[in-house]
Amino acid sequence: MKNKYFSLGALAVACMMSANVAAQKATSFVVKANQPTAEIQPTMWGIFFEDINLGADGGIYAELVKNRSFEFATPMMGWKEQKKNGTTGKALVHNQEAINPSNRRFIRVESGSDEGFGLSNEGFRGMGIKKGNQYNFSVLARQPQGDNVAVVVELVNPDGKSIGSATVTPQGKQWKKYNVSFTATETEPKAYLNVWAKGKGTVDMDMISLFPQDTWKQRPNGLRADMVQLLADMKPGFFRFPGGCIVEGRTLDERFEWKKTIGPIENRELTVNRWNTEFGHRLTPDYYQSFGLGFFEYFQLSEDIGAEPLPILNCGMACQFNTGEVVPLDQLDTYIQDALDLIEFANGGVNTTWGKKRADMGHPEPFNMKFLGVGNEQWGEQYIERYKIFAKVLSEKHPEIKLITTTGPFPDGEEFDYLNTTLRGMKDTRVDIIDEHYYRAPEWFKENATRYDSYDRKGPKIFAGEYASQTVAIASPDNRNNWNAALSEAAFMTGLERNADVVVMASYAPLFAHVEGWQWTPDMIWVDNLRSFGTPNYQVQKLFSTNSGTQVVPVLLDGIAVTGQNNTFASASIDKKTNEVILKVVNTSDKEMNNEFVIDGVKKLQNRGTHTELRSDNLNQENSFENPKAVSPVQKQIQVKNNKVQLKLQPYSVNVIRVKIS
């Protein structure tokens, strides 16, 4: 018996040793570095912007005053009268539509005492103020009765304590712009602005405005520097604007009209934001568009961050989820002319009508626009009818501009099938790039990593224009920007890159969300009045965008593409600019994986490379203001021997390996 038990024990030990050897044996991936299959377009990874979730006003557009020109449907929304010590006075909104139909209203303040009567503005969920920073106040003003009323501007904290102030004295009966600057004495995320009339008499005011000095590139009336920096850090290939459903409008009267968003800001006609009451769970009735961030600023921002500008224009259809209004086919001329004029505004010489307007705004050189979207997320035959008319004119007059069309809001189903089949079957109409959208569960993204493997290589190219993993349900307020969502998107993105001969653009959506002013989740970057942070989804997007490469090469496991075997997804590329092999590997399992990566087809690699790892053991992990780097990349050096890399991939991880070719 003793010998018998000894034999069984020895056998068990031998089996365990054999199992450990098997467990430690590395899975071998082969990268065919000398077999490029597609060119990766510089536009491959980009940014989608829409004014949702207080993305523009109250977000990236740094204006601190809400309803600065009293043009909201409720003219005093955001404002209230202020009185000190029982002083007398009144404020009355006047309408001067005949004088300036784009900015019809102004406010008349009549003060009955030397001081103590004025207005207060609440800002966008308060005003974010930083100690020691300069703030620039401006106002259009006049004194219609020839009085001598000064205007005292004052930032105060929620307790009413002054944290910065200055005085301007309007003079004369004609409208003039007045400016004054002051320095804040405290940091306060919830400040508000008082505008006091000092002296007895009457003063008229319009375009009451307050900006921080430290905007992006220190531009007056500019953008929040921290938010733009997050975009610039991604090194995006394109910048899509202004949306999104906002292009369409709830009705055609509320559609985005680019011509109303350029020129002097006091002449830009405000309109309601279509997201203000879209969702019953997040009503935002004070959500309007001032268009201080307009098409000129969008083009300028694209240039600043090195991205191709990609404007989307209304095609004569309002949002089909709302009214579904359409312009009759024989009345599309205005819409088509808007497209032609936009091309001239972006690319025309200073001797052209719209090129001169661009030059007058400070940019004589063209923006070199190459892409134009016709419609956003339309569906049905009414879209096809209108697209054909647009495409005919634009193709004849501007064949150099690539046209982007759409398959609607869904990645499958009746609407998608109709548009996908119809657009691909049109022989007499240009269809350069088709925009597909996917808001789906995390599992969908992993299951669809092979979506484009079977697409027609000779057909229209694909723009993955809007996508985001929905952790609960589409448009649910409970969706989270957690690691599970981001990990699934990374798996899907390896499929986009692997099919770069078909997919030429891709962008996550939406981009920004204010923590107190959002309507939709999830979103890539979250902000409050003073801070901003990138979500795990942002980190995935940035990792792919900054490690793109120039040519796709195969990465194989047992001779086939890595599309989910053993819960692993992968893509590989060569970067001709840096002479590197770039490998992206996503481990969606809960187990560590011991892997070997063989770089085949190159004579020699340098003996060191880099491994960037993005991971979390917790699929529910999110980034936050308190812990903005909870999920963030970590880079380390790795050894390369005989054109091989030995690497353990951690559970739930996105990995980027870069190795120089000698």
Catalytic residue numbers? 377
Bridge partners (DSSP) of residue 198 are 150
Q: What is the rounded distance in angstroms from the CA atom of residue 644 to the CA atom of residue 646?
A: 7
Characterise 309 by phi-psi region: left (phi > 0), alpha (psi -120 to 50), beta (else). beta
Instruction: Give the 3-state secondary structure of residue 195.
Output: strand
Q: What is the rounded distance in angstroms from the CA atom of residue 287 to the CA atom of residue 269?
A: 15
Give 248's contacts (C-beta < 8 A, 6+ positions apart).
Answer: 255, 256, 274, 314, 317, 318, 319, 320, 375, 376, 377, 378
DSSP strand pairing (551-553 vs 568-575): antiparallel
Pick from 218, 72, 52, 54: nearest CA to 128: 54
DSSP strand pairing (188-198 vs 150-156): antiparallel
* Count of other CB atoms within 10 angstroms of residue 220: 10
The distance of Cα 355 from the centroid of its chain, to the nearest Å, equals: 27
DSSP strand pairing (105-111 vs 201-212): antiparallel
Max CA distance (Å), the chain:
117
Is-contact 648 595, C-beta < 8 A? yes
The distance of Cα 321 from the centroid of its chain, to the nearest Å, equals: 22
Q: What is the rounded distance in angstroms from the CA atom of residue 612 to the CA atom of residue 586?
A: 12
Pick from 91, 87, 83, 88: nearest CA to 108: 91
Sheet strand arrangement including 402-406: 47-48, 238-241, 308-313, 371-374, 402-406, 433-440, 461-469, 503-508
Pick from 213, 188, 59, 74: nearest CA to 124: 59
